[in-house]
Structure 1
Amino acid sequence: MSSEFQYIVRIAGVDLPGDKALAYALAEIKGIGVNTAYVILRKLGYDPHRLLGTLTEEDVEKISTALRNIESLGLPSWILNRRKEPATGADKHLITSDLLLAVRGDIENEKKIKSYRGVRHMYGLKVRGQRTRTTGRTGLTLGVKRGAAKQQEAKKGG
């Protein structure tokens, strides 16, 4: 246990709150969910319910190193977020800006090959099969024009 409680802990380039449980604090890192955090912490031998601010510098460094190289922990491939990456075919797990850049690259690739999903992304439409008749409308909001008979009736009654 560290003698000093840390309220802000930096792991993988992200400032995390020290007053949260380890698993939930790690879940604030882009690409790490609560379940993934539980699996990683149990594999490293840490209690997921322990407060992040109570860790020593060595513990923080050990967790940070493990997050940078999750594939080396020997986890099953279905836990990783980039299985069979298109470029290399390898199983990877990306976090923070690496994940954002990879997703953006995937979308740009789909636009380039003009796949159905790529075309939907290009036009700013729903991509995953949602209905678009009533939702997802963008642009200028227009009201409904009243018919001539309704306008006459409104003038007489008004």
Structure 2
Amino acid sequence: MARIIGVEIPGEKRIEIALRYIYGIGPTTALEICRRANIPLGTRAKDLTEQQLSQIVHAIQDGKYVIEGDLRREIGLNLKRLQAIKCYRGIRHLRGLPVRGQRTQTNARTRKGPRKTVGVVRNPNAKAGIH
């Protein structure tokens, strides 16, 4: 397994796929990084030399991509700002509800979590006939 910017990337995968394991790098960005670093597509991550790994790191840094910790921090600060100004999206994030206009009467289970059944709790003394 190779390490790129503190992230273990799987050695068996092709480099354009393995780069996607870095948070903030998707398919298009991965191809762009490979092109900038002059690495042939289809090369397995385990077959990369130290020089090629350093070329990838330089391509990522020179491309001014926001990745990993910086990106997570930026996204977290954006959410905190929305919540602080009490805008609609911020409130939806606070309550754990869908943010982008999806329906909530049915579905939305990914955001809302498992169902919490609300029902009537019967009085245990009612059956015995004790008043």
Q: Secondary structure at the match of 2:23?
A: coil
Deviations 1:85-130 (A, max 9, x none): xxxxxxxx31111111110110000011111101111111110111
Residue of structure 2 in register with 1:14 after alignment: 7
Letter matched to residue 23 of structure 1: E
Residue of structure 2 in register with 1:30 after alignment: 23
Q: Is the contact between residue 20 and residue 27 of structure 2 (CA under 8 Å) also seen in structure 1? A: yes
In 2, Cα distance between equivalents of 1:43 and 1:69:
10
TM-score by length of 2: 0.80
Say yes or no: does 1:115 pair with 2:87: yes
Q: Among the aligned pairs, what percent are the same residue?
A: 38
In 1, Cα distance between equivalents of 2:116 and 2:13:
44
Displacement of 1:143 in angstroms is 6.2
Say yes or no: does 1:126 pair with 2:98: yes
In 2, Cα distance between equivalents of 1:17 and 1:53:
8
Q: Secondary structure at the match of 1:15?
A: strand
Letter matched to residue 70 of structure 1: G
What does 1:90-101 align with in structure 2 at a 5 Å threshold? 93-101=65-73
Unaligned runs of 5+ in 2: 121-131
TM-score by length of 1: 0.67
Q: Is the contact between residue 37 and residue 52 of structure 2 (CA under 8 Å) also seen in structure 1? A: no
